[in-house]
Structure 1
Amino acid sequence: MTEFLLVKLQYHCSESELKSSTGAIVATSGVRGYSDRRVPTEAQACCRLQRNSHRLKMETFSSKHMAMKAQKKILSHMANKSVMQMFIDDTSSEILDELYRVSKEHTGNRNEAQKVVKNMIKVAVKVGVLFRHERFSADELSLAHEFKKKFHHGAMTAISFQEVEFTFDKSIMIDNLVICRDILLQLVEKHLTPKSLDRIRHVFNHYADPDLLTNLYDHEGSLWPHLTKICGGLNKLIEEGKL
């Protein structure tokens, strides 16, 4: 009986529901000739209580919330070129391709380069889903506006350093990336999982690496052609009002 009371507390069932599950056992205990098959087992009683709990949970079901969760989960598992084509324009896709090549050449690790770009796509898709479902508060939307301003400023700085020789300052680039990272984390911290937050840190920390930036802005280095294409793409996005 103690076990049944614990089950009752767990599933918040009524007294009458508990009696319906246990009454037959109490009433027939010690009666000879009573068929055991007519006495509900503890497992059967628990199943009834679980069904009741399921009905209670359904009352708070939100199809909109479930749809948003499903979109984020499904799309995060499809961080590949087909998803890029669905959610990201051609110019942005080309920039991501060049960022992948930069990471691959700098680290010498193809898997790590793929992971960085996949994490970037997953984060972008999830933030896009949150915007689409209007999940951000007024304060968070202000943060989103601030992130956009800082990211735009960072892109302009990156282009300027590439176009004007001897102006590159890695400390400025690192500061811009760190500021953007922290604003984005603050924007989504109440909406995304710790794993997704780690993806954001991974992406920004990867490209804020001083050695990577130094090699990237070396005019004689192997990464310079990739930087030229990246900055060309950023310029195009700015001209089109997309960045």
Structure 2
Amino acid sequence: MAEAGFNSRSLGMQIQKKVFGKLASKGVVKALIDDDSGILLDLLHKLAAKEMDQKRAQKLIKDLIKIVIKVGLLYRNHQFNDTELAIGLKFKMKLRNIALTVISFHEVAFSYDKGFLVGAINDLAKLLHDLVERHLTAKSHTRINNVISFFTVGDVLDKVFMTDGVYNDMLPQVSEIFGRVVDQEWSV
């Protein structure tokens, strides 16, 4: 007879989240994700490494990877209830809208609006926090905040989207990848 309160399915999920979180290295993730996502991660790492020291840049990427893996694991194992699935759909739509905004900022000269983009990213973060509230630890929420603050605090977005920005040369490739992903995976 099982002990009261013991749930092997829950324990299995905890172990999977821990194991996949520990395996969140660039090499392992490349085996688990598609080419476009890998390229985006590489570009983000390149950008982060220019903005901060190498160790912090690797931590940022590792945090992002852990978040993505854990959310994917929760979804794949049907851990989200109906309310959370609705939040997940809103998250997907917001992510799609941000991708389309990035494409638009690339294609239409001088259309970049930092306030709008930061607001959209913060909205995305709120949805992500709400989605995983019941499932992930405070440490995971800190990881989410770490990734989001990289984009919303400081002038990183300006350096990418301003026509004279030092990282503006990355924008065409990001825009192209977002275009493919929006068409293939994030269509409504």
Would you say how many aligned residue pairs link Structure 1 and Structure 2?
187
RMSD over aligned CA atoms reads 1.7
Q: 2:153 aligns with which of 196, 199, 209?
A: 209
Runs of 4+ in 1 over 4 A off after TM superposition: none
2:94 touches 2:124 (CA, 8 Å); kept in 1?
Answer: yes
Matches within 5 A, 1:185-200: 185-200=129-144
Q: Residue deviations 1:202-224, cap 9 Å, x none?
A: 11111112411111113233311
- CA distance in 1 between counterparts of 2:69 and 2:55 reads 21
Identical-pair percentage: 32
1:104 correspondence with 2:104 = no
Q: Give the greater-gyration-radius structure (CA).
A: 1
Q: 1:223 to 1:165 in 2, by over 3 A?
A: same
Q: Residue deviations 1:144-176, cap 9 Å, x none?
A: 001111110011001110111110010011001
2:105 touches 2:111 (CA, 8 Å); kept in 1?
Answer: yes
Q: Residue deviations 1:107-161, cap 9 Å, x none?
A: 3x11111111110000001111111121111111100001111110011001110
Q: 2:23 aligns with which of 78, 95, 100?
A: 78
Q: What is the TM-score normalised by the length of structure 2?
A: 0.93
Q: 1:177 aligns with which of 103, 112, 121?
A: 121
Aligned to 2:101: 157
1:174 touches 1:210 (CA, 8 Å); kept in 2?
Answer: no
Q: Residue deviations 1:195-240, cap 9 Å, x none?
A: 0011011111111124111111132333112222212111111122
Q: 1:241 to 1:129 in 2, by over 3 A?
A: closer
Structure 2: runs of 5+ lacking an equivalent: none
- CA distance in 2 between counterparts of 1:197 and 1:144 reads 16
Aligned to 1:119: 63
- CA distance in 1 between counterparts of 2:120 and 2:174 reads 17
1:61 correspondence with 2:2 = no
* One-letter code aligned to 1:195: K
Aligned to 2:79: 135
Does 1 or 2 have the higher relative contact order (CA < 8 Å, sep 6+)? 2
